[in-house]
Amino acid sequence: MAAKDTTEHSVLLKVSDPDADAWNQLAARFKDFNLLQTWEWGEMKVRTAPWTVERLHFIHDGRPVGIAQVLLRQLPLLGGMAWVNRGPLWDLGEGHAFVPEIFTELHRRYSVERGLYLRLAPTLPDEQLPAVLRGNGAFSRVAAIGHQGGRLDLTRPVDTLRAGLRQNWRRFLVKAERLGTEVRACHGEAAFGRFLAAYGTILDHSTYRKSTTPTVLEEYQRQLGPDRKMIVFEASAEGRPVSWVVIATYGRTGEYLAAASLPEGRRLNCGQLLTWAAMMHLKERGFEVLDMGGFDPQDEASGVSHFKRGTNAVPYRLCTEIDAHTSTLRRILIRRAIQLGRVPVKLPLPRISLRGRSAARLGATLLALSA
């Protein structure tokens, strides 16, 4: 446990070792709770890449006012890194009063005391970040656009949800419904296995990298308890599965996590059919929000963005990432390594003027930092 008493609020930082239920129940109290701050997502990262995880509580007057799931790893030749993706969580509907102190405590623990490069992707809207960082010179903005996407309010009546779909999207949905394609909501491993096989084949032939690889999805599913398994919506034509949409759930939110479609599924407009089925299924189970996952609402060229935009999900964009380090040089080098690792197109690694094991280790680091 560590304390900082020099501020008016005096936030205490505590390192916690909760189980999945305890962490997720606490996290669900925060309005900015999201998939990447679930206990299972952290455990998946530990098992699929050389990360370790720490889970922190920020306490004021005996109650948690923030939490953070922090991923840690060693970076060959560059030291170490602490990464808080879509966190810390802080939104209890009480404003931003504790956020500056939470950021300060993270900087003290990881950059000052342990000499690590610290990177945060906060859940704040972009316009609110300057006020939070005012007076805290440890952090700098990074030239990395914050996570963006769109959310659908499932508490609205079904007729309102249907009418809210964009005209072309709704027209394709009606056409798919008239074709009589069978749709099932599946909670078992068989459908998930069929989805993974199709998804993996599609990614193998894609020119773009995705952070949600089959390995990531399979391990995340393995970490989920029986009542938390991802829901696979599967469409079949003449008894043959042709299209899938996978939804993760946490708190009162469902999130569109991945999709795969064979040529027959695309011809039958199964994407619209499965997404509408997911909306109805989640609504019936009492979920309040469907997050359509990451996409750029302004991107007119991307087929994924075009499809998701058709649901008329309310767009949102989180603030740019911020970072801190006690070494300016290492900060610059690690920023560059992350930037290279996140190039979405599958390209050969750039030539590096290192030899043997050092080059191999740095190359592996660049690939691992893409997530």
Instruction: Give φ, ψ of 16 to 5 degrees.
Output: -115, 155
State the pLDDT at residue 134: 85
Asked if residue 323 lies in contact with residue 117, where contact means CB atoms within 8 angstroms, the answer is yes
pLDDT score recorded for residue 369: 56
pLDDT at 360: 44
Strand partners, 56: 15, 68
Q: Provide the pLDDT for residue 51.
A: 97
Give the chain's domains with CATH numbers. Answer: 2-146+318-368 (3.40.630.30), 149-317 (3.40.630.30)
In angstroms, the CA 66 to CA 60 distance is: 9
- What integer pLDDT is reported at residue 18 of this predicted model? 86
Question: Residue 348's pLDDT is what?
Answer: 55
The Cα 290–Cα 147 span in angstroms is 16
What pLDDT, on the 0 to 100 scale, is given for residue 2?
A: 40
Burial class (CB in 10 A: 0-12, 13-18, 19+), 223: middle
State residue 345's pLDDT score.
Answer: 64
Residues of the chain with pLDDT under 70: 1-9, 208, 344-371
Q: pLDDT tens, 193-230?
A: 999 999 999 998 877 678 899 999 999 999 999 999 99
- Residue 4: its pLDDT value, please? 40
Predicted pLDDT at 352: 44
pTM of the model: 0.89
pLDDT at 144: 80
Candidates 161, 196, 166, 125; CA nearest to 287 is 161
| pLDDT for position 3 | 38
Q: For residue 144, what are the contacts with CB-CB under 8 A and spacing of at least 6? A: 320, 321, 338, 339, 342
Cα 112 off chain centre by: 27
